[in-house]
């Protein structure tokens, strides 16, 4: 099958199979239903074809096919998009999950990674050398999606965002070219992909900086979720050395093996702490958190960094609504609002997640990359998980009301956690000059908005946006 821009192509599945290096999965194939399933439940879309590409030239072929057929193109890495952007109804899914090559250079502390790898796979391989690049809190998230969003995780205060360790990328742009983007080559594209998501092309490889992160002090600490404990936890996290990053989930205690049965369903702070530095100093740094209340569970210990990603259930597809925002303080008053809203929810599982930021992330200038929230002190993610579709509206209303109660000034949004929340929320992810610069760069690299199934940045073409 040939792709000629002058002759509109109708898609032929046998033609694709013959022309492409990769697996072509169509409706009716045994693998189809599994291949169109994404992480979140409640998303049931039927693509015309799913192409699991084997190399970068197959990526370019699929991009050209989408351009020539006009079919909607979904890019799939790890499949964790909260908005369901990695699967399309009637269009083409470009599935990158077989792009799995990883070349580590421990001597130079750099790695080239293909974008079908997950955060957990990369971390395990790098961890064998006592090295790491920071990703998020979940091993099954794809390095493609998290890196292009920014990447906020357990090393954020010590080493910054994932994009702060991105040295270069290879990107297939809308015209089918494979470009290298770094600080010297296509620097505008390099700026835009560090936070601008999948708007500018398909990233096939990333070059990352690696840090020495060997034995850490980390794990789960579960405390009772009183307003005092929550506010004090945040105060300790802000005062802690930068080696320590925390992610605190305030939620009903889940029925996990390490949680005593009488605590199940009670409000708890289920926090994961990571101290990336000397283990003795780490034990001293976590002591104030342990002293906030008698822990319900205390799994903090020296461990190899990759152990921070526990095994995940293979077939967990939660249906959820969520809201991501930033706040500047969580004092006792805010903590009380959190406890009250969680108590008032009817959702089988509801979570207010608090991530204290700062440190290395905040030292990078706000206009150095397309991630514009460097100065924000705390990220808040609110989630309600529900079971029946008829519960969606009530859970959405709860999340909206909760977010309004917590809002402090300009809420902002982290694009990695944005759902299908509308254009206004995308603008909150990319405020002011960041947005203006992104639409101009989009106009240069994707003037027809081929890459539009994402938190879309419409291209600026000859002075107006499409
Ligand atoms: C359970 C869970 C935990 C999370 N934890 C964190 C966290 O701790 N920190 C954090 O920062 N984020 C976190 N996220 C958000 C996550 O980083 C984003 O949702 C990310 O987009 C998921 O990437 P993916 O490759 O798994 O998803 P996909 O659904 O495959 O991709 C999402 C979108 O990203 C774009 N994309 C992905 N790969 C490429 C590529 N190679 N080239 C071009 N575009 C691409 C596409 O637009 C695609 O639709 C979490 C999400 C979930 C569901």
Q: Please answer whether residues 445 and 67 qualify as being in contact, where contact means their C-beta atoms are separated by less than 8 angstroms.
A: no
Percentage of the chain exceeding pLDDT 90: 93
Going by alpha carbons, the residue nearest to atom 28 of ligand 1 is: 79
pLDDT of residue 121: 98
Q: Where are the beta strands (DSSP E) in 347-415?
A: 349-356, 378-386
pLDDT in tens, 306-316: 999 999 988 88
Q: How far apart are CA 146 and CA 151, in angstroms?
A: 5
CB-based burial label for 444 (10 Å; 0-12, 13-18, 19+): middle
Q: Please answer whether residues 198 and 451 qualify as being in contact, where contact means their C-beta atoms are separated by less than 8 angstroms.
A: yes
Angle between helix 332-344 and helix 392-406 axes, rounded to 10 deg: 170
pLDDT in tens, 7-56: 446 789 999 999 999 999 999 999 999 999 999 999 999 999 999 999 99
Average pLDDT for the chain:
95
Contacts of 98 (CB under 8 A, 6+ apart): 22, 23, 52, 53, 54, 116
Question: From the alpha carbon of 115, which atom of ligand 1 is closest?
Answer: 41
Centroid of ligand 1 to alpha carbon of 418 (angstroms) = 10
Arithmetic mean of pLDDT, 170-183: 98
Q: Which H, E and C letters describe 160-181, residue by residue? A: CCHHHHEEEEEEECCCCCEEEE
> Would the CB of 446 count as within 6 Å of ligand 1?
no
> Would the CB of 85 count as within 6 Å of ligand 1?
yes
Q: Please answer whether residues 135 and 123 qualify as being in contact, where contact means their C-beta atoms are separated by less than 8 angstroms.
A: yes
Centroid of ligand 1 to alpha carbon of 15 (angstroms) = 31
Q: Please answer whether residues 170 and 203 qualify as being in contact, where contact means their C-beta atoms are separated by less than 8 angstroms.
A: yes
> Would the CB of 136 count as within 6 Å of ligand 1?
yes
Q: Please answer whether residues 208 and 165 qualify as being in contact, where contact means their C-beta atoms are separated by less than 8 angstroms.
A: yes
Contacts of 29 (CB under 8 A, 6+ apart): none
> Would the CB of 370 count as within 6 Å of ligand 1?
no
> Would the CB of 449 count as within 6 Å of ligand 1?
no
Residue 301: pLDDT band (50, 70, 90) is: very high
- Give the CA distances from residue 446 to residues 201, 320, 336, in Å, rounded to whole numbers and listed in that order: 8, 32, 46
Q: Please answer whether residues 466 and 449 qualify as being in contact, where contact means their C-beta atoms are separated by less than 8 angstroms.
A: yes
Question: From the alpha carbon of 38, which atom of ligand 1 is closest?
Answer: 29
Token pair for 19: 């022309």
Buried/exposed code over 103-130 (b: 16+ C-beta within 10 A; e: otherwise)? ebeeeebbbbbbbbbbbbbbbbbbbebe
pLDDT in tens, 66-105: 999 999 999 999 999 999 999 999 999 999 999 999 999 9
Question: From the alpha carbon of 455, which atom of ligand 1 is closest?
Answer: 47
Q: How far apart are CA 124 and CA 306, in angstroms?
A: 5
Polymer length in residues for the chain: 466
Ligand 1: which of 42, 59, 93, 146 to mutate, judged by most atoms within 8 Å of the beta carbon? 146
Centroid of ligand 1 to alpha carbon of 145 (angstroms) = 3
Q: Which residue from 355, 354, 353, 350 is spatially nearest to 321, judged by alpha carbons?
A: 350
- Record the pTM: 0.97
Residue 463: pLDDT band (50, 70, 90) is: low
Q: Please answer whether residues 384 and 402 qualify as being in contact, where contact means their C-beta atoms are separated by less than 8 angstroms.
A: no
Residue 452: pLDDT band (50, 70, 90) is: very high
> Would the CB of 306 count as within 6 Å of ligand 1?
no
pLDDT of residue 313: 86
> Would the CB of 120 count as within 6 Å of ligand 1?
no
pLDDT in tens, 234-284: 999 999 999 999 999 999 999 999 999 999 999 999 999 999 999 999 999
pLDDT of residue 409: 87
pLDDT of residue 410: 87
Centroid of ligand 1 to alpha carbon of 279 (angstroms) = 31
Arithmetic mean of pLDDT, 94-118: 98
């Amino acid at each position: 099958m040939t792709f000629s821009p002058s002759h509109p192509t109708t898609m032929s599945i046998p033609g694709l199979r013959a022309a492409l290096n990769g697996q072509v999965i169509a409706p009716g194939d045994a693998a189809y239903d599994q291949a169109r399933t994404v992480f979140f439940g409640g998303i049931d879309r039927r693509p015309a074809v799913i192409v699991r590409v084997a190399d970068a030239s197959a990526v370019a072929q699929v991009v050209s096919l989408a351009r020539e057929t006009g079919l909607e193109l979904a890019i799939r890495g790890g499949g964790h998009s909260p908005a369901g952007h990695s699967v399309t109804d009637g269009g083409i899914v470009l599935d990158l999950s077989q792009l799995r090559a990883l070349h580590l250079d421990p001597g130079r502390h750099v790695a080239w990674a293909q974008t079908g790898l997950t955060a957990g796979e990369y971390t395990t391989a790098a961890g064998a050398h006592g090295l790491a690049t920071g990703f998020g809190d979940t091993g099954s998230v794809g390095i493609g999606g998290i890196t292009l969003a920014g990447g906020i995780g357990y090393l954020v205060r010590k080493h910054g965002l994932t994009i702060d360790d991105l040295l270069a990328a290879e990107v297939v742009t809308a015209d089918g070219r494979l470009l290298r983007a770094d600080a010297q080559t296509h620097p505008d594209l390099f700026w835009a992909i560090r936070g601008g998501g999948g708007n500018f092309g398909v990233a096939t490889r990333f070059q990352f900086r690696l840090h020495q992160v060997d034995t850490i002090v980390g794990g789960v600490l579960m405390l009772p979720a009183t307003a005092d404990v929550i506010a004090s936890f945040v105060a300790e996290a802000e005062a802690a050395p930068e080696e320590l990053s925390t992610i605190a989930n305030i939620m009903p205690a889940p029925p996990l093996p390490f949680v005593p049965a009488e605590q199940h369903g009670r409000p708890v702070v289920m926090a994961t702490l990571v101290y990336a530095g000397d283990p003795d100093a780490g034990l001293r740094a976590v002591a104030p958190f342990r002293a906030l209340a008698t822990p319900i569970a205390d799994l903090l210990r020296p461990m190899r960094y990759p152990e921070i990603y526990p095994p995940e259930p293979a077939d967990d597809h939660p249906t959820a609504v969520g809201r991501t925002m930033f706040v500047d303080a969580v004092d006792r008053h805010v903590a009380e609002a959190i406890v009250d809203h969680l108590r008032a929810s009817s959702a089988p599982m509801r979570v207010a997640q608090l991530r204290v930021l700062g440190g290395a992330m905040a030292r990078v200038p706000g206009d150095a990359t397309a991630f514009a929230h460097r100065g924000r002190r705390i990220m808040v993610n609110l989630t309600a998980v529900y079971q029946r579709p008829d519960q969606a509206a009530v859970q959405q209303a709860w999340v909206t009301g909760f977010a309004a109660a917590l809002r402090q000034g300009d809420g902002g949004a982290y694009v990695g956690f944005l759902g299908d929340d509308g254009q206004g929320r995308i603008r909150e992810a990319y405020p002011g000059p960041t947005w203006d610069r992104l639409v101009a760069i989009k106009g240069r690299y994707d003037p027809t908005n081929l890459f539009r199934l994402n938190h879309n940045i419409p291209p600026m073409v000859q002075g107006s946006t499409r």
